[in-house]
């Protein structure tokens, strides 16, 4: 079995996964939003709305959005009614684009984006009512450590919401999805972003991610309870919801 830490964007680089991920997102930041919505045909927006609806019932006042990128999920999370949303990401270029987006929307008083490491989160224990990660956990170098950190910064009974790509189970859907993600996505990604590796890494990281029951097991090992799974669009993506148990 290939470890997540071994799946990296740049095979000819000796840098660790974390450093490579930061470099990759710095390079594709100018085209990231366009490619993200185009390659998913806009379905990713529907997935985000579903995730937001699921955590809205808990009425969180403070939310931490990890691997926030340019802040799309942080902005969408305002619909929960939260008073303060903080986003962190290891890519400074993605954060820079996100900050400009938030300024343009006049949301600086509600959303703050900061450079930050998902495996060494810069906030004290029990700081947030909810934490979210959209399409970011498969980029963690150490999945268990990242989930432990998310558990640590949540208040008792706080909610973790993870939205991530997954592997379809239906044979026909799986065939079509693999063809699209392994052939068309890398070609379009390279053409638009100019990065030869970023959109080849995407399908590889999805294939190597321990989705479904395996990811639920990881969440449980970090202390999360009442874990629920919502498979979306024939299993192409999945939402995982868990609560912070005693710890």
State residue 247's pLDDT score: 58
Predicted model pTM: 0.93
DSSP class of 117: B
* Residues listed for the chain: 247
230: enclosing H helix or E strand: strand 224-232
Q: Which long-range contacts (CB under 8 A, 24 or more apart) does 46-51 make?
A: 47/163, 47/232, 47/233, 47/237, 47/239, 48/72, 48/73, 48/76, 48/134, 48/163, 49/76, 50/230, 50/232, 50/239, 51/132, 51/134, 51/161, 51/163, 51/239
For the chain, domain boundaries: 14-167+210-244
Least confident window among 37-51, 86-100, 187-201: 187-201
pLDDT in tens, 212-235: 999 999 999 999 999 999 999 999
List b or e across 40-68, with b for residues whose CB sees 16 or more CB atoms inside 10 angstroms: beeebeebbeebbebbeebebebbbbbbb
Least confident window among 64-78, 80-94, 167-181: 167-181
The average confidence (pLDDT) of the chain is 92
Distances 65 to 14, 144, 183 between C-alpha atoms, Å? 29, 18, 31
Instruction: State the fold for domain 14-167+210-244.
Output: Rossmann fold (3.40.50)
pLDDT in tens, 112-164: 999 999 999 999 999 999 999 999 999 999 999 999 999 999 999 999 999 99
Percent of the chain with pLDDT over 70: 98
pLDDT in tens, 97-126: 999 999 999 999 999 999 999 999 999 999
Kindly state the average pLDDT of the residues 26-43.
Answer: 83
Least confident window among 68-72, 145-149, 193-197, 201-205: 193-197
Distances 10 to 89, 97, 159, 216 between C-alpha atoms, Å? 19, 23, 34, 29
37, pLDDT greater than 90: no
Tell how strand 237-244 and strand 224-232 pair up.
antiparallel
């Amino acid at each position: 079995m290939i470890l997540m830490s071994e799946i990296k964007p740049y095979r000819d680089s000796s840098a660790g996964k974390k450093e490579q991920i930061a470099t990759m997102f710095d390079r594709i930041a100018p085209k990231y939003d366009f490619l993200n919505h185009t390659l998913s045909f806009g379905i990713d927006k529907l997935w985000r709305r579903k995730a937001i609806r699921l955590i809205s019932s808990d009425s969180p006042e403070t939310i931490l959005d990890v691997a926030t990128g340019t802040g799309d999920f942080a902005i969408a999370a305002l619909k929960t009614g939260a008073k303060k949303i903080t986003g962190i990401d290891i890519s400074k270029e993605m954060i820079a684009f996100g900050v400009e987006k938030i300024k343009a929307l006049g949301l600086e008083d509600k959303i703050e984006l900061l450079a930050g490491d998902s495996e060494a989160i810069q906030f004290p224990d029990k700081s947030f009512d909810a934490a979210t990660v959209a399409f970011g956990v498969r980029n963690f170098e150490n999945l268990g450590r990242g989930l432990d950190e998310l558990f640590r910064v949540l208040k008792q009974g706080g909610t973790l919401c993870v939205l991530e790509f997954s592997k379809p189970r239906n044979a026909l859907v799986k065939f079509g999805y693999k063809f699209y993600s392994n052939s068309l996505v890398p070609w379009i990604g390279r053409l638009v972003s100019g990065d030869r590796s970023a959109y080849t890494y995407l399908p590889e990281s999805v294939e190597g991610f321990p989705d479904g029951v395996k990811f639920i097991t990881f969440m449980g090992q970090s202390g999360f309870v009442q874990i629920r799974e919502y498979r979306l669009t024939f299993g192409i993506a999945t939402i995982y919801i868990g609560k912070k148990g005693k710890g």
